[in-house]
Amino acid sequence: AQKVTQAQTEISVVEKEDVTLDCVYETRDTTYYLFWYKQPPSGELVFLIRRNSFDEQNEISGRYSWNFQKSTSSFNFTITASQVVDSAVYFCALSDNAGGTSYGKLTFGQGTILTVHP
Amino acid sequence: GAGVSQTPSNKVTEKGKYVELRCDPISGHTALYWYRQSLGQGPEFLIYFQGTGAADDSGLPNDRFFAVRPEGSVSTLKIQRTERGDSAVYLCASSALAQDEQFFGPGTRLTVL
């Protein structure tokens, strides 16, 4: 069965510090997709990134970067020079073809609460 | 350029009552999803529609929960004989294709007294 583990329940940093959010996943499929979502205090989930299992290149988008390592089944997310506006709950998620349902279902981790202090 | 919309934003009901929650996906998105999020938890999958049909309803907790999408656009999640344990935020999402990123609505907060 699919599983996503975000071992860090809460992280607290001071503005301008770098912070890495960990995500470990489990799947039996060879083709799967990994996602990160941000849930700010307003509550609406905001899509950040989607990676497929065949693309292990790290990705950078502004202050955000993602490190995908199939060897350790990890898809970690780093925020460089954190800002107060980065304070939110961050979710890692996985979709695969388990049961032949063609990737429709997202399995989420428990989330990591990030607080950035001024 | 509207996103996913959900109504109502809040619903308070009494134990045993019937409720309907509505989701209006992004125009043109064929895939629609329902999730449930309890406090302090990640969203939990309920059901996924591809067009008008339910492609995967494995997350519906029991037969009190039912969802429809009769014309392949708007969807309604129906909960019969509500229980206090059904209290949660119900999230709807849509995507162009099943493996694409899912765009979420603001959710409906359901409180069962």
Asked if A90 is an interface residue toward chain B (Cβ–Cβ < 8 A), one would say no
d(CA A109, CA A100) in angstroms, rounded, equals 22
d(CA B54, CA B39) in angstroms, rounded, equals 27
Q: Look at B98 and A110 and tell me if their CB atoms are within 8 Å.
A: no
**What is the sign, positive or negative, of the torsion defined by CA atoms of A51, A53, A59, A63?**
positive
Question: Which of B41, B87, B47 has its CA nearest to residue B65?
Answer: B47
Mean pLDDT of A63-81: 96
* The residue count for chain A: 118
Predicted confidence (pLDDT) per residue in B52-102, tens digit:
999 899 999 999 999 999 999 999 999 999 999 999 999 999 999 888 899
Report how far apart, in Å, the C-alpha atoms of A18 and of each of A37, A116, B84 are.
18, 10, 41
Predicted confidence (pLDDT) per residue in A24-35, tens digit:
999 998 899 999
Question: Which of A41, A25, A42, A39 has its CA nearest to residue A106?
Answer: A25
Q: Look at A101 and B104 and tell me if their CB atoms are within 8 Å.
A: no
Predicted confidence (pLDDT) per residue in B14-30, tens digit:
999 999 999 999 999 99
Predicted confidence (pLDDT) per residue in B32-57, tens digit:
999 999 999 999 999 999 999 998 99
Whether the Cβ atoms of residue A84 and residue A56 lie closer than 8 Å to each other: no
Residue A58 CB partners (closer than 8 Å, separation 6+): A65, A66, A67, A68
CB-nearest partner of B55 from A4, A95, A104 = A104
Residue A59 reports pLDDT greater than 90: no
The model's confidence at residue B10, banded by pLDDT at 50, 70 and 90, is very high
Q: Look at A33 and B35 and tell me if their CB atoms are within 8 Å.
A: no
